[in-house]
Structure 1
Amino acid sequence: MNGSSLLSAFGALAVLVVTFAESGLLIVGFFLPGDTLLFPAGVLCATGAAHGGSGLSLWQVMVCAAVGACVGAQVGYYIGRRGGRAMLARSHSVRLKEVVTRGEELLARYGQRKAILIGRFIPMVRTVLGPVAGVLEVPAKTYTLWQVVAGIAWSQSLVLLGYWLGAEVPGVDNYLLPLVALVVVVSFLPVLLQRRRRN
C-alpha cells in the first residue's frame, strides 16, 4: 500500500502510525513510507481544501507527524538501551548491519547533537539512529532534546513543502507519484554520496 492509499484509507492516523513505526521500530520501520507519506499528505491537505475538503486537515497532519516522529524515536532509543545490542547481534540482515554502521559513523564523525539532527533526514538511518544511540549510551537528555528538534524539523518541513506545492501549483496532485519518487531520490542523495566517497 503506497502513501496516498494509506492517507485515503486512514487519514491523519496513518501519518501518526507510520512516522512512529519508521522512527523507532527498527526492522518494521524499513518497510514504511516516511518521506513518501508526509509530502503527499501536505499536498492533499492543500488540494483537498481547494476542492471542498479531502478529509485531511493540515493541523491534524502536522501534529500527528510530529508526535509520531518524536515518540517513535524515543521508543527506539529505549529499545536500544534495554536490549538493542543483543537484538543486533542476533540479526542476520546485512542491510541492517550496514545501516547500523552508518549510524555509528554519524555519531562518531559529527558528535551526538549533529548526528541526531542529520540522521533524521537520511532514510533508513533515522530508523536505526535511536536504537544505536541507546546501545551506545548517548545520554537520555541529550538524545531526547535533539531528536525532538530533529523530528519536528523533518516532519513539518516535508508536510509544509507538500502543502505549499499543492497550494501554489494547480493540478499538482495528479503528479504525486513522480513527485514522491523525486523526494525519495533527494532523500537518498547523502547515502549515495557517502558510498561514492568510500569507493
Structure 2
Amino acid sequence: MDLMQFFDMILHVDKTLGVLLAEYGTYVYIVLFAIVFCETGLVVLFFFPGDTLLFIAGAFCATGEMSYPLLMALLIVAAITGNTLNYYIGEAVGQRMFTNNYRWLNKDALHRTHNFFEKHGGKTIILARFVPVVRTFAPFVAGVSDMTHWRFQLYNVTGAVLWVTSLVTAGYFFGNIPIVRNHLTEIVIVGVSVALVPLALGGLYKFGRKVLSR
C-alpha cells in the first residue's frame, strides 16, 4: 500500500477502518490516536475525520475487534493533547500580535476577542468539540486571544471527555445497526445542526437585546 492509498483510507476511515484493522492490527490504535491528535491540534488538518471515526471505532468495539476502554483512554488523551498543542501554537502567534505593532492588526478587536474567551470561552471550547472544523480552530483562537491556561484546560478536558465518550459509546450501541451505519453521514449532519442551532439562537438573542436596548 503506497502513501496516497493510506492517506485516502484515513480520509474515509468510516468506510475503511475494517481494512485498516486487517492490515495493521493493534497498530490501528496508533493511527486513530494520530488522526484525532492531528485534527484537533493542527489547523491545516481540519478536514480529517473526527465524529465518524469515533462512532465507527465504537461500533468495532461492540464486535470485540477493538478494546472499548483502551480506545476511550487513548482518544481522550489525543483530544486533550491535540487541543493543547493548538492552543500553544495560537498563543505563540497571539503574543507576537499583542507585542508588535502590526499596521494591519486591530488590537482593540484582539482585546475584545480575549475578553470574549475569558467570559464565554468555556462553553465555546466544549460545544466546538461537536462541530467539525470549528473544533479545530477554537483552541487556536483561544490561544491567540490569550485565554488563561487554567480556564482553557478545564474546559478542554471536559469537552474531550464528553466528545469521545458520547460518540464512541453511541457507536458501541448503535453503530452496527444497518440503518444507522448506512446513513451515518446524514446522522452526523443532524447532530452538527443540533449543536449549531443553540449557538445561533443564543447569538441572535444577544444581538436582539443589544438592538432593543439602544
For the Cα contact (< 8 Å) 1:21–1:72, is it kept in 2?
yes
Does the alignment pair 1:156 with 2:165?
yes
Partner of 2:31: 14
Whole-angstrom CA distance in 2 between matches of 1:188 and 1:85: 34
Gaps of 5+ in 2: 1-8, 98-112, 208-214
- Identity %, equivalent residues: 33
Does the alignment pair 1:45 with 2:61?
yes
Q: How does 1:40-189 map to 2 (within 5 A)?
A: 40-46=56-62, 48-49=63-64, 54=65, 56-83=66-93, 107=116, 111-166=120-175, 172=177, 176-189=181-194
For the Cα contact (< 8 Å) 1:84–1:131, is it kept in 2?
no
Whole-angstrom CA distance in 2 between matches of 1:165 and 1:35: 14
1:141-186 Cα distance to aligned partner (Å, 9 max, x none): 11011101111111111001111224xxxx5258524124312332
1:44-82 Cα distance to aligned partner (Å, 9 max, x none): 110x22xxxx2x111121112101110000000000001
- CA distance 1:114–1:174, change in 2 (3 Å): closer
1:9-47 Cα distance to aligned partner (Å, 9 max, x none): 15222321111111120021x21110010001111110x
Whole-angstrom CA distance in 2 between matches of 1:191 and 1:110: 20
Moved over 4 A (4+): 84-87, 107-110
Whole-angstrom CA distance in 1 between matches of 2:88 and 2:165: 24
For the Cα contact (< 8 Å) 2:117–2:142, is it kept in 1?
no
Whole-angstrom CA distance in 1 between matches of 2:16 and 2:42: 19
Whole-angstrom CA distance in 1 between matches of 2:67 and 2:17: 11
Whole-angstrom CA distance in 1 between matches of 2:32 and 2:160: 13
TM-score (norm 1): 0.73
Larger gyration radius, structure 1 or structure 2? 2
- CA distance 1:6–1:24, change in 2 (3 Å): farther
Q: Which amino acid aligns with 1:187?
A: V
Of the two structures, which has the highest relative contact order with CA contacts closer than 8 Å and spacing of 6 or more?
1
Q: What secondary structure, in the 3-state scheme, does the structure 2 residue paired with 1:122 have?
A: coil
Q: What secondary structure, in the 3-state scheme, does the structure 1 residue paired with 2:183 have?
A: helix
For the Cα contact (< 8 Å) 2:51–2:130, is it kept in 1?
no
Does the alignment pair 1:194 with 2:200?
yes
Aligned residues: 172
